């Protein structure tokens, strides 16, 4: 007779290893957030650390408040893209693993 709890524990351990691998991959990935039709871009890694900010020269003569809003918008765009990337990648790993309804893994 099979041990269902043992099999579940093995599956959980494998999933934990896979999650760690995916988290390392995500940390190394980069996304580009942008605003103003690409006039402001932010390169952010999977740890949500900004790596590079690019501001089109045409904005430097513009209103400071508008520039600040565009930078904030580009950062938010990048953060949202990282969150979606993480969710998509980690859902690939956890697919098929029996989770109770409403259970959220601590990501």
CATH of domain 31-93: 3.30.1310.10
Mean pLDDT of the chain: 85
- Structural domain boundaries in the chain: 31-93
Q: Which is more confidently placed, 103 or 22?
A: 22
pLDDT exceeds 50 at position 93: yes
Report which listed range, 22-31, 54-63, 68-77, 87-96, is most confident.
Answer: 68-77
pLDDT at 39: 94
What was the pLDDT predicted at 12?
A: 79
**Rounded to whole angstroms, how far apart are CA atoms 36 and 18?**
38
Reported as a single tens digit per residue, the pLDDT across 24-63 is 999 999 999 999 999 999 999 999 999 999 999 998 887 8
pLDDT of residue 33: 96
Is residue 56 within 8 Å of residue 49, measured between CB atoms?
no
**What does the longest C-alpha to C-alpha distance in the chain come to?**
75
């Amino acid at each position: 007779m099979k041990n269902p709890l043992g099999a579940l524990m093995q599956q959980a351990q494998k999933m934990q290893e896979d999650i760690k691998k995916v988290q390392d991959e995500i940390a190394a990935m980069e996304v580009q957030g942008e605003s103003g039709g690409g006039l402001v871009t932010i390169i952010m890694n999977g740890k949500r650390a900004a790596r590079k900010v690019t501001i089109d020269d045409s904005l430097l003569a513009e209103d400071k408040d508008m520039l600040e809003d565009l930078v904030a918008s580009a950062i938010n765009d990048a953060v949202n893209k990282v969150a979606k990337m993480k969710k998509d990648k980690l859902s690939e790993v956890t697919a098929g693993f029996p989770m109770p309804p409403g259970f959220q893994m601590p990501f």
